[in-house]
Structure 1
């Protein structure tokens, strides 16, 4: 009996030693078991061949750094210093102490030089630079500081108030031109970087996402804007909003500050709109848009109709006397449903389509008048200058 117990203990020690050795080998060479089974003709272990149901699906993760995107885009972003003479009302004091005591002083006009800070983006080897109109408005002298330290005097080619864009031209060789993202439309949720000259701090980069696209900042403007939460401050105006590949997505233009109890709400002009403005200003010095000569709003729907609050189309609220629509017979309360071959989705859609048409071109407008269908041919005029309703910062 004693001999049998010793034999069992001896075998148990070797079994334990073998299991421990197999465990260590499996840790060092995880696939050795399957290879040994294949060598002796045994099937693979089901546990090893079947994927674990607990395995988490892989996720695409963002880059740890956006330095590559910044290095591509930053050389194309410039600082802009716009100088202008400002006349102010003041009081000129008399040099004689007696007269000063008697009369105190007399009204006088004083002139002083004022400098606006902003940013710009180099978009052409020919020296064209995009910036904001409010940065250079009424400036006597515009200086551009390039990324590599070169300084150039800029000439104003033209400006567009509705998009708040201005085109400058500098005479400098070997310019770093930014790449545009026209082939990659911006999407809500995309990561973007704002590059500019906030508060005169020179090249500064902030990051955020695209909060929304297709924003209209004025009920009368046909232009759409990108909304972003990337930090934009005074001096960022005219700077670049780029994607994670360093491609230009938009031109930073507007921030809604703490005066409106808002944080993280800024706007940029989409690169497609900026390119169209650039091309027209280079060609003719100004932007040309079509105009129907009417004001319109959403189509009202009765509360008990069961329809959405805003139905398809646009309702005419006012017709400008002598304008294209008045000459074509359009009337207030007409509901416009179609322009040319395109259905009208809402007033914003109509504003975009109207502005895209050439002045002098004819277009058929159709809709409902007092519930009955009507058609009218309108010869578009050139859209008159509009005063922006949004206050601009940045």
Structure 2
């Protein structure tokens, strides 16, 4: 199964299997007839009428036609002409693209030259949120756009301008050039509940004006799209071209912006994801006012505290956000926060996960003074810092030190290492994993060929001997694992690796 973040015309959200017709249920026997009768508010069969308990009657709308008539004119098709550059070309002599070292050097090394530019035409969906023609859609629908047109439900096509985009939430705001007294829809003021009806309207496969219905399947979904994931999961069928379109409640208010699908085939299988209205409306307001979104920032790479990491660090709980690396010159470093600290509260409010920390800090905005409570060596401490402005995303690159060197295997880990300073592109600090046994303990905990181990058990590692010494010390002390600080293509992280008898 593949999670697909919807891309313009060919990578749009989808979600949900089709609902069976009621008449089919009615033909499936007494049990099905009972379920059908209860759902439609029809008297239950006599077998259940004699039961001592009373069954609650559940009712639902007999039709969505009235709400669709109200909202459909405000839903538009987005047509985009874009110029893109192909960055897929990358060559490393002697390495296959399937080799982990190839991905390591592609991420940290030079990109091997500029790609070819080409023009693409694509489509998506959107919806008008003001009578003067402001339109909400997904960022990936209009990313790299050189021309944007909006096709109204009436069939009229109008040029539009990109007012602002936000990659981190995948939202964009457009403005129809000559918009005046256009039909529009409003954001919902209430958060939907799991089980509530949802109506999706959009432009699947370029067909335009298509309507589907389902329910809210879950809230607060993290699909790995970014640090602020908080998606609604819906089962209203949506397909390629629906991306950026609205999800409505039964009153016709927008509860979400359709964005992604989970699908083995690229089509609807009943699992789609929408950005909640409470997130989208704040982002859209900021884009309308400033053309961009300013978020608070402390400048740390953070990760979950697993049970193994908690045991390695002597922590009583897995709650909080573990600092893998503070960024140089960032507010966190200036306040004295260090790698290995575990943030457990912000302004006295408990933090249970890294994602919760990221959302809370971002929502506060820059230049705010906050109290950060953290654990260091088992002791609770608090520092005050001033939030910075979350910078634009930058590609991480390692230092370009070139050379070669010998390595050696670490007993019980299943890895061979060499000083990072002797391997091209690996940097000056730590040891690089040059070979790894897929069945070894290090590989099973996520260590990969090309990773650079910079610390083991809280001590700096610059040689095979340093790493081996850390594991020998752990064995003598009877510890079950050693906490490694590892630099990978995805950034800095902590990994707890079990100690095996040497």
Q: Name the TM-score class by shorter chain.
A: 0.7 to 0.9
Q: Does the Cα contact within 8 Å between 2:82 and 2:120 map onto a contact in 1?
A: yes
Task: Please tell me whether residue 252 in structure 1 is matched to residue 258 in structure 2.
Answer: yes
What is the Cα deviation at residue 331 of structure 1?
A: 1.0
Match of 2:216 among 203, 210, 215: 210
Instruction: Decide which of 230, 243, 246 is 2:249's aligned counterpart.
Output: 243
Shift of 1:60: 2.3
1:60 maps to what in 2? Answer: 58
1:55-80 deviation per Cα after TM superposition (whole angstroms, max 9, x unaligned)? 84341211121112212221110011
For structure 1, which segment, 332-341 or 294-303, has the greater mean C-alpha deviation from structure 2 after superposition? 294-303
Identify the residue that residue 179 of structure 1 maps to in structure 2.
Answer: 186
Aligned residue in 1 for 2:322: 315
CA distance in 1, matches of 2:305, 2:85: 48
- Shift in CA distance, 85/304, structure 1 to aligned 2, threshold 3 Å: closer
Give the secondary structure class of the aligned counterpart of 1:348: helix
Q: Deviations over 1:305-355 (max 9, x none)?
A: 8xx997322221221121111111001121211111321122221111010
Q: CA deviation at 1:193?
A: 1.3
Q: Does 1:334 align with 2:349?
A: no
Q: Does 1:376 align with 2:374?
A: no
CA contact (8 A) 1:241 1:268 kept: yes
Residue deviations 1:260-291, cap 9 Å, x none? 89932211111111111111111111011111
Could you tell me which runs of 5 or more consecutive residues in structure 1 were left unpaired when the two chains were aligned. Answer: 1-50, 89-108, 389-394
**Map of 2:463 onto structure 1:** none
- Deviation by residue 1:76-121 (Cα, 9 ceiling, x = unmatched): 1001111135689xxxxxxxxxxxxxxxxxxxx9987531111111
Which residue, 153, 163, 175 being the options, matches 1:157? 163
The TM-score with structure 2 as length reference comes to: 0.58
| 68, 75, 81: which one aligns with 1:70 | 68
1:357 counterpart residue number: 364
Q: Aligned partners of 1:359, 1:352: CA distance in 2, in Å?
A: 13
CA deviation profile, 1:212-254 (whole Å, cap 9, x unmatched): 1112233851242111122221110111111122211111111
Structure 2 CA distance for partners of 1:345 and 1:205, relative to 1, 3 Å: same
> 2: distance between equivalents of 1:356 and 1:113?
37
Alignment partners' CA distance in 2, 1:302 and 1:185: 36
Contact 2:128-2:185 at 8 Å conserved across structures: yes
Q: Give distance in 1, aligned partners of 2:155 and 2:381.
A: 62
Aligned partners of 2:331 and 2:386 also within 8 Å:
yes
Matched residue SS, 2:69: helix
Partner of 2:231 in structure 1?
A: 225
In the comparison of the two structures, how many residue pairs are matched?
A: 316
Counterpart of 1:284 (choices 290, 294, 307) is 290
2: CA distance, partners of 1:151 / 1:360: 43
List runs of 5+ in structure 2 lacking aligned partners.
1-48, 87-114, 396-502
Across the aligned residues of Structure 1 and Structure 2, the Cα RMSD in angstroms comes to 2.9
The alignment partner of 2:150 has SS state of: strand
- Equivalent pair of 1:74/1:147 in contact (CA under 8 Å): yes
Q: CA 1:87–1:263 in structure 2 vs 1: closer, same or farther (change >3 Å)?
A: same
SS of corresponding position for 2:61: coil
Counterpart in the other structure of 1:144: 150
- Equivalent residue, structure 1, for 2:134: 128
Q: Distance in 2 between matches of 1:245 and 1:331?
A: 50
**Normalising by structure 1, what TM-score?**
0.73
Q: Select between 277-286 and 65-74 the one with higher mean Cα deviation.
A: 65-74
Q: Which stretch of structure 1 is more off in the superposition, 218-227 or 155-164?
A: 218-227
Cα drift, residue 257 of structure 1: 2.9
Shift of 1:304: 11
| Shift in alpha-carbon separation, 1:383–1:265, aligned structure 2, 3 A | same
Q: 1:311 is paired with a residue of what secondary structure?
A: coil
Deviations 1:105-139 (A, max 9, x none): xxxx9987531111111011231100011111111
Return the alpha-carbon distance in structure 2 between the equivalents of residues 61 and 187 of structure 1.
16
Q: Is the 8 A contact 2:187 2:281 kept in 1?
A: no
Instruction: Label 1:266 to 1:55 Cα distance change in 2 as closer, same or farther (>3 A).
Output: closer
Q: CA deviation at 1:367?
A: 2.1
Q: Which residue of 2 aligns with 1:16?
A: none
